[in-house]
Amino acid sequence: MINSVKLARLEAGMTQQELADKAEVTRQTISLIEKGEYNPSLNLCLEICYAVNKSLDDLFWIDKERGKNEEN
């Protein structure tokens, strides 16, 4: 999964800790999501969206080309 959480967070003028507090997770979780090293649950994705005032489509998507390559 690819995301633009970091960009949205910065546009909202928030630190990782502020976003983590709003989403009720740790700062480390936000860091891992931003780096693409952790795929959050749908509920957490939505909490992040609400916190930065973006839609799910704005923040998260799947790289279909990458998925095709992994299947081969």
Fold of 5-71: 434 Repressor (Amino-terminal Domain) (1.10.260)
Q: How far apart are CA 42 and CA 17, in angstroms?
A: 20
Q: How far apart are CA 19 and CA 13, in angstroms?
A: 10
Look at residues 43, 48, 46 and name the one whose alpha carbon lies nearest to residue 31: 48
Mean pLDDT, contiguous 10-residue spans, the chain (72 residues): 96 98 98 96 98 97 69 46
pTM, two decimals, is 0.85
Dihedral of CA 23/25/27/30: which sign? negative
40-17-24-7 Cα dihedral, nearest 10 degrees: -40
